[in-house]
Structure 1
């Protein structure tokens, strides 16, 4: 079932959302100082491309720097990526078949707003952190 949902997700919204994250990552990497944000953006792009069967958990070793970084990310990139998830999620929830995909879009909003200090893990191992 995960495979089917992931394929439908990829066609309907995953590819476009992943492109948004890749664009944000490229912009962040070009600016040199924001390379950690670019790396986080590329990591989330993979998650946005194929979300079913994976989830996010907080990293235990994340400190104050990730909190400050999340605020910077929220101001410059997070809000428009989250807005893309909200718009796409509402559009997908219009049809009965798209409701699981719309809910997956809403699931991605917290990590799009504050990606630092989070790790993407398989759903069968939600407590497996480094």
Structure 2
């Protein structure tokens, strides 16, 4: 079931989301200021490609992660999360869209504070 949902997700738009996160990670890697957020962008890209069967857990809750997450939240995280919540609300209207809506909620949570998080297989 997880494979089928991941394939549907990928075909119906997951490849766009993942590729854009890879592009964002590459752009962040080019700049010196963006280097702290580069691993988080690549982590979100992998999760955006194949989100079913994965969960998000805290890895590091130190002061550095907190500071980077606050900067991220103010500069980019809130509008990325808002985008995912709007998509989740639209998908949750149908029964078939509920699993995809849940993945957008998980992406919204991850895009709010990506530093210090990791994605694990369930």
Query: Shared fold (TM-score greater than 0.5)?
Result: yes
Q: How far does residue 62 in structure 1 lie from its aligned partner after superposition?
A: 3.6
Q: How far does residue 120 in structure 1 lie from its aligned partner after superposition?
A: 0.8
Provide the aligned length of Structure 1 versus Structure 2.
122
5+ residue gaps in structure 1? 124-130
Structure-2 separation of matches of 1:77 and 1:19:
17
Secondary structure in structure 2 of the residue aligned to 1:108: helix
Establish whether residue 58 from structure 1 lines up as the match of residue 58 from structure 2.
yes
Q: How far does residue 20 in structure 1 lie from its aligned partner after superposition?
A: 3.2
Other-structure match for 2:120? 121
Task: Output the aligned Cα RMSD.
Answer: 1.6
5+ residue gaps in structure 2? none
Secondary structure in structure 1 of the residue aligned to 2:120: strand
- Structure number with the higher helix fraction is 2
TM-score relative to the length of structure 2 = 0.89
Distance 1:91 1:13, change over 3 A: farther
Other-structure match for 1:89? 88
Structure-2 separation of matches of 1:25 and 1:43:
9
Other-structure match for 1:126? none
